[in-house]
Amino acid sequence: MSALSLTAPRTRLATAGPALAMLLASLGTSIANIALPRLAESFQAPFGVVQWVVLGYLLAVTVAIVAAGRLGDRFGHRRMLAAGLWVYTLSAALGAIAPSVWVLIIARVAQGFGAALMMALPVALLRETTPPERLGRAMGLMGTTSAIGTALGPALGGALIAAADWRATFALLAGLGLVALAVVGGGGQATGAARRLPDRAGAVLFALAVMAYALAMTAGPRNPAWMAGLLLGAVVGMGVMLAVSRRAAMPFLPVSSLAAPGLRVALLANMLVTTVMMATLVVGPFYLTRGLGLTAWQAGLIMAIGPVTSALTGVPAGRLVDSVGSLLVARIGLAVSITGALLMAMLPARIGLWGYVAAIALMPPGFQLFQAAITTRVMETAVASERGLISGLLSLSRNLGLVTGASLMAAVFGWIAGSQNIAGLGAAAAGQGLAATFLLAAGLLVVALGLTRIIRR
């Protein structure tokens, strides 16, 4: 069905399924984090093993997300979104009855593969069903639902664990998956090339290269030899993949797609912005507890400001994109984010907690303005046969930014604070680490702002 033929009410109905799928994919990450201590007790497993309940999910999403978009292009976006929901739902059900931590980890990896389809395809599907004049609002809604999923996870998971057991969190995900399946449906038309898959060698090489990069960031500066080796492997793997793609009749990642005007620049800017976004999640708790002396509960309340303001500003950001254009809104969002990062570097040292609150309330709306704008810009120029691929690349750039930010920003904070032992971190050192980290963040955002000047109008 043509996007132009949809009325506003039908557009909203067509948006509900993809939005719910995006919310569930985000909820799948955040709801599991809060369960880790209880999982360690239940299975009598060390934290190094239990953390793979979260890491396995994230790694599977990151590795598979571009392939997920490619599958959507070949077999139909709605059809493959429904397939992803089935995988997600059945894996969550397996997690709810897992007899051992290893079965749970396997279930979570499988759930991550389903979530990759749920993250890559909603944007492509909405590009098909949303009128051009409402595309920005649809992209803003995707940002809102993702933020809601992130914000709901800790509170919802904590309540379920307190009232029942950690298994209830996975049972909830399975139940919500069934609801999403009912809304999304399983129809949709495949493309003319549906029965022809892109070259498998390119897909495997791409996945291995992405996995090597993600693992390098997970290893971090504390393991420099491993980090360097994995980064080298990622570069070599990507180079070989591009060489294979040039010779393939149907390449996994067409070089012509990456040569599209502004696409590479937009992906790099997107990765830089999400690298900075991760700084608030990684560094914030350390500063709030060690620098300001807050309890974990108090720090959690302050940390919730970011997801809440993100959820509130996603749809208005999309409406602004529809009104004044994507590039202008992207630059406004980056300017707001730069201001927030500079305030984060300066205000907490001067006025303490309220300085932190002012900065953290400003940065997420800036991020949402940028995300709604850059997603709209990229998707409105994507050709119909590659919308899933381009959506997957956008999601991949976000995920790679998050894993980069988790490693880079934590390393900068620890280095400036002069301590790798968080338990012994003093208030003054925590303040210095926060200031340095967000000065770097402001610099990265300035680079992203400069990159938007390269994107063609």
Structure confidence at residue 192 as a pLDDT band (50, 70, 90)? very low
**How many other CB atoms are found less than 10 A from the CB of residue 444?**
23
Residues 31, 177, single domain; the answer is yes
Residues 347 and 398 in one domain: yes
pLDDT in tens, 74-105: 888 889 999 999 999 999 999 999 999 999 99
Please check whether residue 300 lies inside any domain of the structure: yes
**158, 170: one domain:** yes
Q: Which of 226, 251, 276 is at the close of a domain? A: 251
Do residues 33 and 162 both lie within one domain?
Answer: yes
Across residues 378-393, what is the average pLDDT?
A: 81
- HSE value, Cβ hemisphere, 13 Å, CA-based, for 323: 9
CB 362 within 8 A of CB 381: no
The CB-based long-range contact list for 161-168 (8 Å cut-off, 24+ gap) reads: 161/34, 161/35, 161/38, 165/38, 166/35, 166/38, 166/39, 166/42, 167/95, 167/96, 167/97, 168/96
Does one domain contain both 229 and 260?
no
Taking the C-alpha atoms of residue 348 and residue 356, their distance in angstroms, rounded to an integer, is 5
Q: For residue 150, which phi and psi values (nearest 5 degrees)? A: -65, -40
Highest mean pLDDT of the ranges 29-38, 48-57, 142-151, 323-332: 323-332
CATH number (domain holding residue 389): 1.20.1250.20
Q: Are 72 and 117 in contact (CB under 8 A)?
A: yes
Same domain, 222 and 281: no
My answer on whether 154 and 288 are in the same domain is: no
Q: What is the DSSP string of 142-160?
A: HHHHHHHHHHHHHHHHHHH
Residues 98 and 178 in one domain: yes
283-328 tens-digit pLDDT: 887 788 888 888 867 777 787 788 888 888 888 888 888 888 888 9
In this structure, the answer to whether residues 138 and 207 fall within a common structural domain is no
Environment class of 192 (CB within 10 Å of its CB; exposed 0-12, middle 13-18, buried 19+): exposed
Question: Which of 135, 161, 186 is the last residue in one of the domains?
Answer: 186
Classify residue 136: in a domain, yes or no. yes
Compute the distance between CA of residue 299 and CA of residue 112 in angstroms, rounded to an integer.
29
Is the distance from CB of 428 to CB of 242 less than 8 angstroms?
no
pLDDT mean over 177-206: 71
Say whether both 239 and 163 belong to one domain. no
DSSP code for 44: T
Give the range of the structural domain holding residue 106, as residue numbers without chain letter: 6-186
| Backbone region of residue 50 per phi and psi (left: phi > 0; alpha: psi in -120 to 50; beta: other values) | alpha
Same domain, 328 and 396: yes
Which tokens belong to 275?
């690298």
Same domain, yes or no: 276 and 371: yes
